[in-house]
Amino acid sequence: MQPDALCLVTGATGYIGGRLAPRLVAAGFRVRCLARNANRLRDVPWASRVEVAEGDVSEPATLDAALEGVDVAYYLIHSLGRRGFEEMDRVAARNFAEAARKAGVRRIVYLGGPDPTGDVHSAHLRSRAEVGRILLDSGVPTAVLRAPVIIGSGSASFEMLRYLTERLPVMITPRWVRNKIQPIAVRDVLRRLIEAASLPPEVNRGFDIAGPDVLTYAEMMQRYARVAGLPRRRLLPVRALTPWLSSHWVGLITPVPNAIARPLVESLIHEAVAHENDISDFSRWDPTPFDEAVRLALAKVRDVQVETRWTGAAGRDASAEPLPTDPAWSGGSVYTDVRDQPVGATSDALWRVIEGIGGDNGWYSFPLAWSARGWLDTLSGGVGLRRGRRDPHRLYVGEALDFWRVEEIVPGRMLRLRAEMRLPGRAWLEMYAEPGPDGTSTYRQRAVFLPHGLAGHAYWAAVLPFHAIVFGGMARNIARSSRGVPR
């Protein structure tokens, strides 16, 4: 494939797509990214070097323009953790395959999961394999790259491994920790994806891609502990710990919520090792050893240089859409809590506090209440408060922030967060930095709740008495913290 070929990257707001797009640009390709809402890619560092097309693989009519003139199409979409994801992925893959064929795309590259032998009990792996078959049958030459556990800063698999190992010096383990896995470094996955663009046109098949080390999950934990400078972990096997129980355990200990932990754990029931290395016939190089992949990932976490995180991919309602003011489903009710607080500091200083909120910095009021709300959300299967933030200082539209998602940001002026915790309705939190006279400013805070049914109205009534403590304290403490920000 010519270096200036046009590549379409789907899933560009996700973990792999957000890293692949700028690397394709660096390799000399022209890049177009497909997103349901172009605003989701507005703030990424490489936004000015790519073209963004709005479209949705579930809506075939939106794909024609996105695929026009495309030479290589990267399919990096998977509805992991959503109800009915197998059917959603099946329909989306068929739509994309047909649109790519009609557009004359010269190659499709798909990143799938491992291809286990025997009966497949994981719906996640079944769906990934089915999507691969649909694309291979599209009539467009397709390369399906089958990757096992991906080790890289910010990946769900790495975060699961990291939190389990660091937080549990003694761990009750299920049987699947003895299954064999051949993990691969994220840098190697990206290199294989870029190289796949130049495969000969007659190549239409799947390839196993993996690292050099075949390990059990238990060995991965021990090796991680050694690289991280931790004592050896004690692992106590328990046969009765089912995948369902394991996923809840993972959801409590790690930032990965049950909805995503469950399919990840179910996939670990099967051994995930490469059955062939035919991809090396086209490009031969030494893959990254497991210990080195862990070391690189930990360095990125330590140096706060995590490019993308598993939390970047959001549901269909998580894009940066305008906050609705009078939705029919809420019965026309909109509850708000508005607070203004004078600040004896400039609006720039105030803004730095606003943009740095969440994660290790917390939420500036009643930490126990925020923690309790996060644990309740985790126990009910929600995302909880432990997703943290990608960067301690900078936020992008569309990225996760604890149990919120950044819906809109006007630098120096306004931050709008949309709640992703489980609620009987929808909620937003807006924070404004208003400049004032003589080096002062005003902090304006608005919480908005759109109730869904009687439960939503009851929820607002139940939490209303605590607003003075939580939201009032938050406004006062943000104002106080702003006074200590260096000019």
Tokens (6 digits) for 481: 């913290």
- Which pLDDT tens digit goes with each residue over 101-128? 999 999 999 999 887 665 656 777 888 8
* Count of other CB atoms within 10 angstroms of residue 128: 24
Q: First CA to last CA across the chain, in angstroms?
A: 51
The alpha carbon of residue 118 and the mean position of all alpha carbons in its chain are separated, in whole angstroms, by 30
Per-residue confidence (pLDDT) for residue 317, from 0 to 100: 44
* Count of other CB atoms within 10 angstroms of residue 364: 20
Question: H or E segment at 215?
Answer: strand 215-216
**Best CA proximity match to 474, nearest among 431, 422, 416:** 431
**Best CA proximity match to 35, nearest among 66, 64, 60, 80:** 66
**Best CA proximity match to 155, nearest among 291, 320, 14:** 14
Per-residue confidence (pLDDT) for residue 157, from 0 to 100: 87
Question: H or E segment at 112?
Answer: strand 107-112
Tokens (6 digits) for 462: 């139940």
| Eight-state DSSP code of residue 365 | S
Indicate yes or no: pTM above 0.95: no
CA distances from 150 to 123, 161, 190, 232 (A): 19, 11, 11, 23
- Which pLDDT tens digit goes with each residue over 348-389? 999 999 999 998 889 998 888 788 888 787 777 777 777 888
CA distances from 196 to 12, 74, 142, 178, 213 (A): 17, 10, 9, 32, 23
Alpha-carbon dihedral angle through residues 363, 366, 368, 370, given to the nearest 10 degrees: -40
**What parts of the chain have a pLDDT lower than 50?**
316-322, 325-330
Strands (E), 291-368: 335-343
CA–CA distance, 37 with 45 (Å, rounded to integer): 17
Per-residue confidence (pLDDT) for residue 196, from 0 to 100: 96
Count Cβ neighbours within 10 Å for each residue of 160-178 and write b for 16 or more, e otherwise.
Answer: bbbbbbbebeebebbebbe
CA–CA distance, 397 with 416 (Å, rounded to integer): 9
Cross-strand pairs, 431: 415, 445
Question: H or E segment at 52?
Answer: strand 51-54
Residue 293 identity: A
Query: Who contacts 219 (Cβ-Cβ below 8 Å, separation ≥6)?
Result: none
